[in-house]
Each structure stands twice: as structure tokens, then as C-alpha cells.
Amino acid sequence: MVIYLKLFLTAILWGGTFVAARVVAQDVAPYSASFLRFFTASLFLIAIITMQEGRIPRLKRHQVIPAILLGMTGVFAYNVFFFFGMKTIAAGRASLIVATNPIFITLLSAFFFRERLDAGKGMGIILCLTGATLVISRGNPLSIFTGGVGWGEIYVLGCVASWVAYSLVGKIIMKDFSPLAAVTYSCIIGGAALLTPALLENITGLIGGFYLRDWIGILYLGFFGTVLGFFWYYQGIKAIGPSRASVFINFVPVSGVFFGWLMLDEAVNLSLLTGAALVLSGVYLTNRPR
């Protein structure tokens, strides 16, 4: 029972990251916000992995390139796109676009790893892409071809591409690397890569002017959204398996839309609700246990 509660709370925490990022992105430059998030996360992860495994496991020679790719896709690229996007797009809308991640992972896993793609998954992909189109276009799909899609949506689609790449690389490195170690290394490598562009944004000169809400948002993103969320999620995978654990991801966009409405007074219109229903149905069909 406890593991199901942790998985549910993980989805709630991840939904909350869109609100936290929306708040932080208004005051903190994208590279600086990303660096501070993963500097915070890395400190906690190093402490946790040291307590659990005695030390941070050394990378083997064949793991170095995959670990760098994990850090540059799932941390560096994803979060730069994330914070650029959250400057202009509503938290609820962004969470629904990001919810299409499993669809593209499923498609590319079938292509690269020859994973089975049955009729149910095919229907789920169609539903999810239809819902995402409604959300991105704000209920007018033809606007996609007439320049009606803003940079915020484009940046968040960059998040999706980055996370798909991270997940596919992760399929390779996870074969002989613990999930906690992989997350720790990706945070350290991605955070280190973010330092130079953060310095170019003058993070050292501006950091003293951040508001309390910015520090709360950064702490939430670093600890609750990254460390605790991933830690509980991988505990769930270990306890009940990836198929059953992944079902709880369906709650992420729901909580993202809810928190956006509750805390940021974001509008919830018909196109958003219809798109949400289609995306959630598609993600469920694609990831339901056999």
C-alpha cells in the first residue's frame, strides 16, 4: 500500500514542477535556473547514493559516453527548453504536452529496439497525438500550419525530444548501472555543463536579487521534483514493475493542470479538457499492463 501512495505522490510532485518552473522562470534566467536546480539535486543525490551504496560507483570506460549523453539530454537540453518554455506557456498546457513523452518513447523503442507495437498501443498513439495537437493549437489544429503556435509550445516540444533521447540512452546504460547511479551521474554531468552558460548570464551577480518564491521554487524542483520524485519512482519500479508503476504517470498532467488553475489562476477551457482526456487515454492505452 505504501508503494502505491509513493507513486501517486510522485506524480503529484512532478505535476507541481510545472508550476514551480513557471514561477522561477519569470525572475531567473533559463541556464541559471537549470543550474541551480541540478546543483541542489546533485548534492542530495550524492548524499543518498553514498548512504545506500557506500560510494558513488565508478564509471566503466564503456559507460562514459552514455553517461554524458544522459546528462546532456535529460538534464542540460531538457531543462533549458523547459525554462525557456515556461516563461511564456501556462503550466497546465505544458504538462499535457510533456505527457506525450511515453508515446514517442514507445514509437522509437519499436523502431530501434524492435519492441512489440500492438493495436492497442497504435490506438493510444493516435489518441495521444490528437490530444496533443488540440492542446498545442489551443483547439484550432489548422493554426499549426499558419504560424499560430508560439515559441513556448515549441520549446516544450524540445523538452519532449530531449526526454525521449534520455530514455532511449537510458535503456542502454541501465543494463549494468543502477537507476540511482544513472540519475546521479546525469545530474552531475548536466549540472556541470550548465555552469558556464549560467555564468554568462551573470548568475553570480544576480543571485542575491532572487525573491524568496524563486528559492522555494528552485528547492522544490531540485529536491521534491528531482531527487524525491525519481527515488520513489524507481522504488515503485523495483516493487511492482515498470508497467504498473508507469500507469501513475497519467496523474502528472492532471496535477499540472489542477495546480496551474489553483495556484496561478490559469484558464481551463474546452480545448484543454478535451486534449487532456485524449492524451490521458492515449498514454494509458500505450502503457497499460498486458
DSSP states of the chain: -HHHHHHHHHHHHHHHHHHHHHHHHTTS-HHHHHHHHHHHHHHHHHHHHHHHHSSPPPPPGGGHHHHHHHIIIIIIIHHHHHHHHHTTS-HHHHHHHHTTHHHHHHHHHHHHS-----HHHHHHHHHHHHHHHHHHTTT-GGGGGTT-S-HHHHHHHHHHHHHHHHHHHHHHHGGGS-HHHHHHHHHHHHHHHHHHHHHHTTHHHHGGG--HHHHHHHHIIIIIIIIIHHHHHHHHHHHH-HHHHHGGGGHHHHHHHHHHHHHH-----HHHHHHHHHHHHHHHHHH---
Q: What is the pLDDT of residues 187-226, one digit of tens each?
A: 999 999 999 999 999 999 999 999 999 999 999 999 999 9
Q: Is the pLDDT of residue 146 over 70?
A: no
Examine the pLDDT at 115 and tell me if it is beyond 80. Answer: no
Task: Return mean pLDDT, the chain.
Answer: 85
Asked whether residue 156 carries a pLDDT value surpassing 60, the answer given is yes
Q: Is the pLDDT confidence value at 183 over 70?
A: yes
Lowest mean pLDDT segment, chosen from 117-121, 135-139, 144-148: 144-148
Give the model confidence (pLDDT) of 85-100 as tens digits.
999 998 988 888 888 8
pLDDT of 247 strictly over 80: no
Q: Does the pLDDT at position 83 exceed 90? A: yes
Position 63 scores a pLDDT of 82
Q: Which pLDDT belongs to residue 124?
A: 77
- Over residues 111-135, the mean pLDDT reads 78
Mean pLDDT, rounded, for 267-282: 83
- Would you state the pLDDT for residue 231? 83
Question: Pick the residue with more confidence: 274 or 139?
Answer: 274
More confident position, 18 or 167: 18
Instruction: Give me the pLDDT at residue 290, please.
Output: 58
- Kindly list the domain boundaries of the chain, sorted by start residue: 2-287
Asked if the model's pLDDT at residue 111 lies above 60, the reply is yes
- Please give the pLDDT value at position 36: 97
What average pLDDT does this structure show over 41-51?
92
Highest-scoring range by mean pLDDT, 89-103, 135-149, 179-193, 235-249: 179-193
Q: What is the pTM of this model?
A: 0.86
